[in-house]
A = this chain, B = another copy of it.
Amino acid sequence: MSLTLDVARTIVAAARAHGREAGLKPLTVVVIDAGGHVVAVEREDGSSIKRFEVAFGKAHGALSLGMGSRALMARAEQQPYFVAAVTHAVGGALVPVPGGVLVKDDAGTVIGAVGISGDISDNDEAAALAGIEAAGLVGQPD
């Protein structure tokens, strides 16, 4: 299956609902498809101006190497030069902290990624997972 706009909208709505219920700071939620291209974005009032770029970087980085951005963080702590180099290689959009989560269908196929920025990274990731689950899909955070 592909990540349709309806699915993306479900993910965005559920991630934002999670944020409100959990009392998180304003979130910016980005959903990209399997090719790394934007499907849907919502930046909540009070988010700082570059939160789209940060959230996109989490999702795009995750998809670039086929692992959640939590795994990118682990790699950055072990081999910062590798992550810096890949960041250059992919054009700059790779943010290696939690909050970038791969989206998989029932067959385990990666159909896209979600990136969230606004609260601390662990909370951003929790919101992404909540959104993906609400869409009946499977999130891979690392």
Give this chain's copy count: 4
A50 touching B89 by the CB < 8 A rule?
Answer: yes
Q: Is A53 in contact with chain B by the CB < 8 A criterion?
A: yes
CB of A30 to closest CB in B, whole Å: 8
B81 touching A89 by the CB < 8 A rule?
Answer: no
Q: Which of A17-50 contact B (CB under 8 A)?
A: 33-45, 47-50
Residue in B45, B48, B83, B94 whose CB lies within 8 Å of A63: B48
Q: Is A129 in contact with chain B by the CB < 8 A criterion?
A: no
User: Inside 8 A of A35's CB, which chain B residues have their CB?
Assistant: 33-37, 49
- Chain A contact residue count (CB 8 A cutoff): 57
Residue in B8, B39, B95 whose CB lies within 8 Å of A86: B95
User: Inside 8 A of A90's CB, which chain B residues have their CB?
Assistant: 50, 53
User: Inside 8 A of A84's CB, which chain B residues have their CB?
Assistant: 80-81, 84, 87
- Chain A residues close to B by CB (< 8 Å): 2, 4-5, 8-9, 33-45, 47-54, 56-57, 61, 63-67, 73, 76-77, 79-97, 110
